[in-house]
Amino acid sequence: MPSCPECDAAVSVGTDAVKGEVVACPDCGAELEVRETSPLTLALAPEAQEDWGE
């Protein structure tokens, strides 16, 4: 089971996870993106906020 890069908690990701899928860490709530599926690697997802400028 991969661990959260933010808090190191175990994050359960379905075996059918696909690259690019975003899951939330159950512990700290960080959004984690599946970077690789073999081996399963998680990385903090980039902020989803759209920057439309001020």
> Can residue 43 be called a binding residue for Zn ion (CB under 5 A)?
no
CA distance 37 to 51: 29
Q: In the 8-state DSSP scheme, what is residue 47?
A: P
Q: Which residue lies nearer to Zn ion by CB, 9 or 22?
A: 9
> Can residue 4 be called a binding residue for Zn ion (CB under 5 A)?
yes
> Can residue 31 be called a binding residue for Zn ion (CB under 5 A)?
no
| DSSP bridge pairs for 17 | none
Q: Which residue lies nearer to Zn ion by CB, 47 or 51?
A: 47
Closest by CA to 2, choosing from 21, 52, 49, 51, is 21
Q: Which residue lies nearer to Zn ion by CB, 23 or 52?
A: 23
